[in-house]
Structure 1
Amino acid sequence: MTFTLDATHDTQRKSWVESANAAGSDFPIQNLPFGRFRAAGSSEAFRIGVAIGDQILDLRAAGLIATDDMNALMAAAPAERQALRLKISDGLAAGSPQQAAWAQALLPQAQAEYTVPCKVGDYTDFYTGIHHATTIGKLFRPDQPLMPNYKWVPIGYHGRASSIVVSGQSFKRPQGQTKAPDATEPSFGPCKRLDYELELGFYVGQGNALGESIGIDQAEAHLFGVGLFNDWSARDLQAWEYQPLGPFLAKNFASTVSPWIVTMEALAPFRAPFTRPEGDPQPLPYLDGAVNRAQGQLDITLEVYVQTAKMRAEGAEPARLTHGRVKDAAYWTAAQLVAHHTVNGCNLQPGDLLGSGTLSGPTLDAAGSLMELTLGGKQAITLPNGEQRTFLQDGDTLILRGWCEREGAVRIGLGEASGTVLA
C-alpha cells in the first residue's frame, strides 16, 4: 500500500487557526497529528484531539467522532482514516463554514495536559540503527562489532509497556546490580551511566489475526503513525544483566513518548528510497517489495537537546547534542519491522508500539546516545555554560525534536518528547 498525496497536502491550503500558518510551525493544516489531552489541572477524562497551530481541536466536541477511545479510532481501515483526515482538514481550512462552531472546540496547547497517545498493549524495541549498533559493538566486541545476523534479520526484543510515559514527566534514577571489571562480585545501587536513546515509535493501527502474517506490501496499511521515542537506558545495569536474554532493569523504569502521533498519511510527502550499501546482502523475499524499495524510508530530521538544572536556573536555552536524519540511520524500514514481527503469525493489535532502536547517523554529531558521543564515557562533552557530561546527572532534562522538510511540501513537525531525571 502507498499513502498518496491529496487535498490535505496542498501547499496552498491555509487554516483559519492563524498560528497554524506561521512559518516553521510543527502543526500546520497539512499535519493534523492525533493525541489525548484534557484541560491542565482538571480531573476530566482524556479526550482525543488534533494539533493545529498552537491549539488542539477536540474531535468529539466538534462532532467528528463519537468515542474517546484512541485505540478504537486507530483500528479503523485506512480509507476511513483518510476520510476523517479530509473532513478535519476541510473544516479547519480558511473560509470553512465550520469555523464558528469548531472555534468553540479549541483549547490552547499551553492550557492542556497530555497522556500517552493511546493504550499501548505491547511494546517491541528493534535495533535498526546500524551506525549505533556498529559503534556500540566496537566498544564491547572490537573484533566483531556487528553480529552475523544483523544484516539479515531485524533484531528486536519485547519490552515493558506499562512504564511508557508521556513527554514532560520526570522519573527516578534507576537502580540495580552492576559489576566493575575488577570486582569479584556485583554491587547494588543507583545507575551511574544513565543515557538517552533517540528513537521513533511506530504505532500499529489495524491488527492481524493470530496465525496470519502481514505481507511487506500491506505492512504500512497496518501502521497508524509515528511519534518521538526516548528509550532511556541504564548502561551499567545493562552491561551486567543483558546476557543471555537482553536488557531488563536497564530498560523497564521509563520510556518517554511525544504526545502526538503524526499519521502515515501526513508523512506521504516525506518518503525516501530504501537502499542497501554495495556489498551488503539484499533482504530475503518476505522483507522485500517494490513499494518498500521505492519509498520505504521516512525522511525525518531528529535532534536531541539537554538542559541541566543549572542551565534551567540561569534561564539558559537547552544545548543541542544530536542532529541527524532517519533515512541515514535506519537499516530497516517500518514496513520491514511489521512484516518480520508477524511472519510467524504474531498478532499485532491497535496501539502496539514498535521502537526503531537508536537512530544514529554516520557522523559523531548525529549519534543518538551519550554512549556514542562520549566514546563509552571516556570523553566528556562540554556544554556551552562549561558544565561537562559523560552520562546524565540528576536534574538533567532531555528533549527530542523532529520534523520533515522538503521542497514542494509544507514543513511538519513531530513536537517534543522531554523527560527529567530525578535523584
Structure 2
Amino acid sequence: MIDFTHDADRTSWLPDANGHAEFPIQNLPLGVFAPDGSDDRRLGTAIGDHILDLRGLFEAGLIEGDAAAFGARTLNALFARPAPERRALRQRLSSLLSEAAHHAAVSPHLYAAQTCTLYLPAEIGDYTDFYVGIHHATAVGKLFRPDNPLLPNYKHVPIGYHGRASSVRVSGEPVTRPLGQIKAPDADAPRFAPTQRLDYELELGVFIGGENPLGQPVPIAEASERIAGFCLLNDWSARDVQAWEYQPLGPFLAKNFHTTISPWVITAEALAPFHTAPLPRASDDPAPLPYLSDAGDQAQGGYRIRQGARLRTPGLSAAVELAQSRAEEAMYWTVAQIIAHHASGGCNLRPGDLLGTGTLSGPQPHEAGSLLELTEGGKSPLTLPSGETRRFLEDGDELSLFARAEAEGFVSIGFGPCTARILPAVAP
C-alpha cells in the first residue's frame, strides 16, 4: 500500500532527516527509548539524528489513538492494534514532520538520538527461528552431507525451532562467550568448556502484530497483515556445542545464550515500496501445499533488502566488511509463508512475538552470512588487513550487521545498528 509517505520528493522541516542514510522521513521506524538522564521508557520514532516522542505527541493532542498503547513502555500494545491504525499513525507522523505549520508544536518532543538510551522494542513472549535461507542451508549441509546437503523436507515445509526469548538483547549489549559440552571427533567423551567456534548469523527479525485465537490458523492470504515490522537479528551460535547436542532434537545451548536485535522496528508500511517477487523455485521443486500458496504472495512476497556483516577486532582500527547478500535472493520461503505455517497447527501468535528468518546467505561463497560458511567450517581462515586471522570469533571482537531496503524510484531506508562485542566466558 504505497502512499504519499513513500514519495521520494518528500522532505522534512528537520534538516538532518533529509538525505539521512538510515532514517529519512520515508522510514519512520518505531522503538523504545529513554531521554538522557532518565529511565522513563517511552515509544518513539527515529527521524534523522533525532527521536520523536510518541507519548508526548499524544498528550499534546497531536496524534490520536489508544492511550494505553502510547503510554506503554513497549510496542506490544501498539502492535496489538489493527493494521489500519498503524498505517494511519505513519501517515500522521509523516505529515507532522513534513509540514512547516507543525514545526513549533512538534519540536519540543524531539530528542537528540545520541543522548538517548535505546531498549528492546517489545516484550518478546515467544521467539521462533526459521531456516529459510536456502543457500546457507545448502552450504552448511555440504559440510556434513556432501552428496545430499538439503534434507528431503526442506522444500516442502518451512523449517524452524523455538528459541529462547529471555536472552534476546538489544544492539550494544555484549555477548558473554558461552560454555557447553564439546566433543572432538577423535575423543571418547565430551568435555565442558567455553566454545571455540563462536559464530554469528545474518538474519532478519519479524515482529508479529495482532493475535489469532488458540486453535485458529492464519490463512496465507491474511498472513502479511500480521507483520508489524522488521529488525536485524543475529542468532549467535556455538558451532562446536551445536555439533554435539543437536541430534535428535536440534539446537539448544548452542543458540539460547544470546540473540541480538536492532532497536528500531522498520514497519511493514515503510517497506511497501520494496516488495518484489520471491526467489523462484526450480522447475523440479515441489509446489507449496495449498495452505502455503497465495497468488499475491508469490508475486510480491519478497523484499528488496541488502544486508551484510562487519567485523572489528582489537587489531583493526576500523571494521572490515565480511559479506553482503540480498534477502530476495536468499529466502526460499516468504515471511507470509512462515507465519501461516507457524499458526497452521493452531498456535496463537501474539503481538510482539519475534520470528527469525534464519541465516540469509547469497548464492556465491563471498555472500555467506556466517563464519561457518566463509571459513568452510574453519578449514580456510580469513586473513584480515591487520594480519590477524579468524576461523571463528574471538574475545574482544565486535560484530555488526547492517541492512538497507532499496528500490528504484524510492528513497532507500536503513535498519540501524545490530552490534555486540564478545566478552570472555565466565567460569562455572
The TM-score with structure 1 as length reference comes to 0.96
| Cα separation, 2, equivalents of 1:55 and 1:201 | 24
Q: Does 1:258 align with 2:253?
A: no
Secondary structure, in 3 states, of the residue corresponding to 2:165? coil
* 1:133 partner amino acid: A
Give the superposition deviation at 1:94. 4.0
Aligned counterpart for 2:225 among listed residues 210, 221, 226: 221
| Cα separation, 2, equivalents of 1:103 and 1:382 | 48
| Cα separation, 2, equivalents of 1:84 and 1:75 | 14
Match of 2:351 in 1: 350
Give the superposition deviation at 1:385. 1.6
Moved over 3 A (4+): none
| Cα separation, 2, equivalents of 1:419 and 1:230 | 9
Match of 1:11 in 2: 8
| Cα separation, 2, equivalents of 1:214 and 1:400 | 31
| Cα separation, 1, equivalents of 2:13 and 2:318 | 32
| Cα separation, 1, equivalents of 2:40 and 2:75 | 13
Q: Does 1:55 align with 2:50?
A: yes
Secondary structure, in 3 states, of the residue corresponding to 2:244? helix
Match of 1:81 in 2: 86
Give the superposition deviation at 1:108. 1.2
Q: How does 1:143-158 map to 2 (within 5 A)?
A: 143-158=147-162
Match of 2:307 in 1: 302
| Cα separation, 2, equivalents of 1:166 and 1:215 | 32
Match of 2:104 in 1: 100
Give the superposition deviation at 1:266. 0.4
| Cα separation, 2, equivalents of 1:43 and 1:53 | 22
* 1:270 partner amino acid: F
Match of 2:320 in 1: 319
| Cα separation, 2, equivalents of 1:263 and 1:163 | 23
| Cα separation, 1, equivalents of 2:198 and 2:117 | 27
| Cα separation, 1, equivalents of 2:307 and 2:150 | 24
Q: Does 1:36 align with 2:40?
A: no
Match of 2:203 in 1: 199
* 2:193 partner amino acid: G
Match of 1:279 in 2: 284
Q: For each residue in 1:366-397, what CA deviation from the matched residue of structure 2 results, as whole angstroms up to 9, or x when unmatched?
A: 10000000000000101122111000000000
Aligned counterpart for 2:126 among listed residues 122, 125, 133: 122
Aligned counterpart for 1:72 among listed residues 54, 77, 93: 77
Give the superposition deviation at 1:303. 1.2
* 1:60 partner amino acid: R
Match of 1:400 in 2: 401
Give the fraction of aligned pairs with identical amino acids, expressed as a percent. Answer: 54
Which region of structure 1 is more displaced relative to structure 2, 270-279 or 140-149? 270-279
* 1:15 partner amino acid: S
| Cα separation, 2, equivalents of 1:346 and 1:357 | 20
Match of 1:248 in 2: 252
Q: For each residue in 1:264-287, what CA deviation from the matched residue of structure 2 results, as whole angstroms up to 9, or x when unmatched?
A: 100000011123122211211111
* 1:411 partner amino acid: S
* 2:182 partner amino acid: T
Give the superposition deviation at 1:404. 1.2
| Cα separation, 2, equivalents of 1:232 and 1:44 | 28
* 2:52 partner amino acid: L
Q: For each residue in 1:235-290, what CA deviation from the matched residue of structure 2 results, as whole angstroms up to 9, or x when unmatched?
A: 00000000111111101110000000000100000011123122211211111111
* 2:114 partner amino acid: A
| Cα separation, 2, equivalents of 1:386 and 1:320 | 15
| Cα separation, 2, equivalents of 1:184 and 1:276 | 43
| Cα separation, 2, equivalents of 1:303 and 1:242 | 27
| Cα separation, 1, equivalents of 2:142 and 2:357 | 21
Give the superposition deviation at 1:73. 0.3
* 1:224 partner amino acid: A
| Cα separation, 2, equivalents of 1:131 and 1:82 | 34
Aligned counterpart for 2:18 among listed residues 13, 16, 21: 21
Secondary structure, in 3 states, of the residue corresponding to 1:169? coil
Q: Output the aligned Cα RMSD.
A: 1.0
Match of 1:141 in 2: 145
| Cα separation, 2, equivalents of 1:100 and 1:308 | 45
User: Which sections of structure 2, spanning at least 5 residues, go unmatched?
Assistant: none
Q: For each residue in 1:121-146, what CA deviation from the matched residue of structure 2 results, as whole angstroms up to 9, or x when unmatched?
A: 00000000011001111111122111
* 1:345 partner amino acid: G
- The aligned length equals 413
* 1:78 partner amino acid: A
Secondary structure, in 3 states, of the residue corresponding to 2:166? coil
User: Which sections of structure 1, spanning at least 5 residues, go unmatched?
Assistant: none
Secondary structure, in 3 states, of the residue corresponding to 1:110? helix
Secondary structure, in 3 states, of the residue corresponding to 1:310? coil
Secondary structure, in 3 states, of the residue corresponding to 1:415? coil
| Cα separation, 2, equivalents of 1:343 and 1:51 | 35
Secondary structure, in 3 states, of the residue corresponding to 2:379? coil
* 2:245 partner amino acid: E
